[in-house]
Structures are given as C-alpha cells and as structure tokens.
Amino acid sequence: MATISVCMIVKNEEKVLARCLDSLQGLWEELIIVDTGSDDKTKEIAARYTDKIYDFTWTGNFSDARNFSFSKAGCEYIYSADADEVLDEENREKFLILKEALSQNPEIEIVQMYYGNQLSQDSIYNFDKEYRPKLYKRLRNFVWQEPIHEAVRLEPVVFDSDIVIWHKPHGQHGARDLAYFEKMLEKGERLSDRIQDIYLRELYFIGDKHNLEKGHDYLVRICENENPDSDLFQKAISILCKEARLLEKDSDVLKYSLKGIVSQGCSELCMELGHYFFAKEEWAEAIIWYYNAAYETSGQMSLKAGTTEPLSKLISCYEALGMPEMAREYKKQLEKMMQEDISQ
C-alpha cells in the first residue's frame, strides 16, 4: 500500500483542526503541521496527532509555507490538506482503496479529488463540486517513451478520482484574499494570468466599494492594453461598471457600459446595466438588459449571470409592472433551469 505524508499549513485553526484531522486518521503514515504564527490552541491540538510540528516565519507568501511543509515530507505521496476540509466515511473508504491502487500503479504522479460544498458561502466558483489536485508523488521518476525518436515524458500522469473532500470553512476568506492582491499591486508585483483571473473574480463576486476603488487603476490599465473583444477586457470593463454603479457615478456607468457593449459584450455587463435601471425603478429598461444577460450574451466570470440571476430579476421587473403572466412564464423557465442544475 502506498504511504502518505499529510502536509498542512495552519494559523489559528483551533475551531476546525481536530475535525479535519479526525476525518483523516488512519490514512496517513506521517502528519506534518507547519504553523505560521498561531496565538490560539492550534499547536496544542496538533500535538495530539503528531510530533512533527514546525514553526514557519510568515513571509506573506502561501507558496513559501507550502513548499516548506512539502520539504519535511518523507513518504511516497504527499496529501495537501487545509484545516477547514472534512473527509466523510464514504470518501475515507475510497481513499483507502486509492492507497492500494497507487501501489499497483506507481506511474500515477498526481491525483485529483472533487472539492465539494463550494457554493455554501459567497465564493468565486461557479460549481459546487469540481476537481482539484490534492495528492502528489513526492519524487518523480523521469521516463523515456516512444519506440523511436524517444523523449522523456514531461507531462505528469494525473488520475481523476471520485473522492469528494467537503469544504466547511469557518468564516469567509474573500476579504483576506483581496487584501493580499491589493498589497501585490501596491508593490508593483506582476500578477500571473492565473492569479489575475482569480483577482478579477474576487472583485466581481465579493468586492465592496473599497476593494473596487483599490483595483480601479489596475482595471483601467487592462482595458487600455487589451483588445476590446478579448475576454479579459470584458471582465475588467464589467467590474468597472459595477464600481461606477455602486459609487453612483452615472457618467462612468455610461462610459464603461458603452465601451463594453460596442464590442462583444457579456452577461455580467448586461446585469450591471439591469441593476442600474432596476435601482431607479425603470423596469422596462431593466428588462431589456436582464433579457440580454439571459439570452443574448454569456458569462465571463459567473455562469449564473447568464442563467438564473437575470431570470430572477425579470420576474421581479414584470411583477413590478403588474404583468403576472410574464412573471409566471419566467418563473417556469427559472424552475426548469434550477431543476436541470440539480439533476446534473
């Protein structure tokens, strides 16, 4: 059976750490806890499960702490866990089966597992369950392949398991994440494409007026440098329109929405215009833009911006106009769409 080092970085996790470790007991051969500055009972709780507890001076970089935790691992595979995760009994059994399977299939280098319960709180995700890499082979063996013109295989062998890890956070991390992004921008650090996408999603889904103002200049630079037909331009211009709407800057709502609409447009931008007119109780105008969000465009950051959200607002608009038949028609469409989502 394959051996596993569970590696965790923690800080002030006394409310959830035992729950996580209890759910993982019996799956690891080695448990490594890296503490980045707890001032509660986190390390005391960790000591009930392992003596491999390390202090790490926080650098402001999560990757530094993750790399340090991995450097302490000694087993064949490393499982990267967070304190707010839980593995239920059904998935514990699947994990044990996986350990046996890995010993029979040593070529597997990364195992992906479903990350579940993502939509229980405000988040940047569009799906309640989706794959994430969670288990990594500690040492990689380079293998030559092909009978002629041979080459070393560079792409890792990834296995998609059916194990579900339930994410049960205590509190919201969005504000913390946005503060990190803002510090990066203040320092003039370049955001990678992946981190930039996450930052824009965080701004769109959970950013408040303060966060949007902090990101304003960065978003403007994106719009100045990107092709208006690009997905990145559409994301940035939609967020700028949201900022202008929340700050009640009507002229900026007009400026940014026109820039977005004359190119390809997207559901998020149409939703912002719908919200703008909805707040002014201009129901007929709001309907135009909610309809365009639902039927004429697609979402760049949020699937719901092009599906359930505009339908819900169309219902409210038609009810406000005293048109119950139209409201009922959109209610039917919304119920059908939500039922299809549940069945998938």
> Mean of the pLDDT values across residues 178-195?
92
Q: What is the pLDDT of residue 246?
A: 96
Q: How far from 12 is each of 17, 135, 175, CA to CA, in Å?
A: 9, 24, 17
Q: Answer whether residue 232 shows pLDDT above 90.
A: yes
> Mean of the pLDDT values across residues 186-193?
92
Mind giving me the DSSP string for 73-85?
--SSEEEE--TTE
Using pLDDT thresholds of 50, 70 and 90, give the confidence band for residue 265. confident
Q: What is the pLDDT of residue 208?
A: 93
Contact criterion met (CB below 8 Å) for 289 and 273: yes
> Mean of the pLDDT values across residues 94-101?
95
As a whole number of angstroms, the distance between CA 327 and CA 124 comes to 29
Using pLDDT thresholds of 50, 70 and 90, give the confidence band for residue 144. confident
Total residues belonging to the chain: 344
> Mean of the pLDDT values across residues 133-138?
96
Percent of the chain surpassing pLDDT 70: 94
Domains and CATH numbers, the chain: 4-167 (3.90.550.10), 224-343 (1.25.40.10)
As a whole number of angstroms, the distance between CA 290 and CA 114 comes to 33
Q: What is the pLDDT of residue 172?
A: 65
Using pLDDT thresholds of 50, 70 and 90, give the confidence band for residue 344. very low
On whether the pTM is more than 0.75, the answer is yes
As a whole number of angstroms, the distance between CA 269 and CA 272 comes to 5
- The phi-psi region of residue 248 (left if phi > 0; otherwise alpha if psi is between -120 and 50; otherwise beta) is left
Q: Answer whether residue 9 shows pLDDT above 90.
A: yes
As a whole number of angstroms, the distance between CA 239 and CA 245 comes to 10
Helix (H, G, I), strand (E, B) or coil at 144: strand
Lowest mean pLDDT among 38-47, 62-71, 114-123, 297-306: 114-123
As a whole number of angstroms, the distance between CA 268 and CA 207 comes to 14
Using pLDDT thresholds of 50, 70 and 90, give the confidence band for residue 343. very low
As a whole number of angstroms, the distance between CA 130 and CA 123 comes to 13
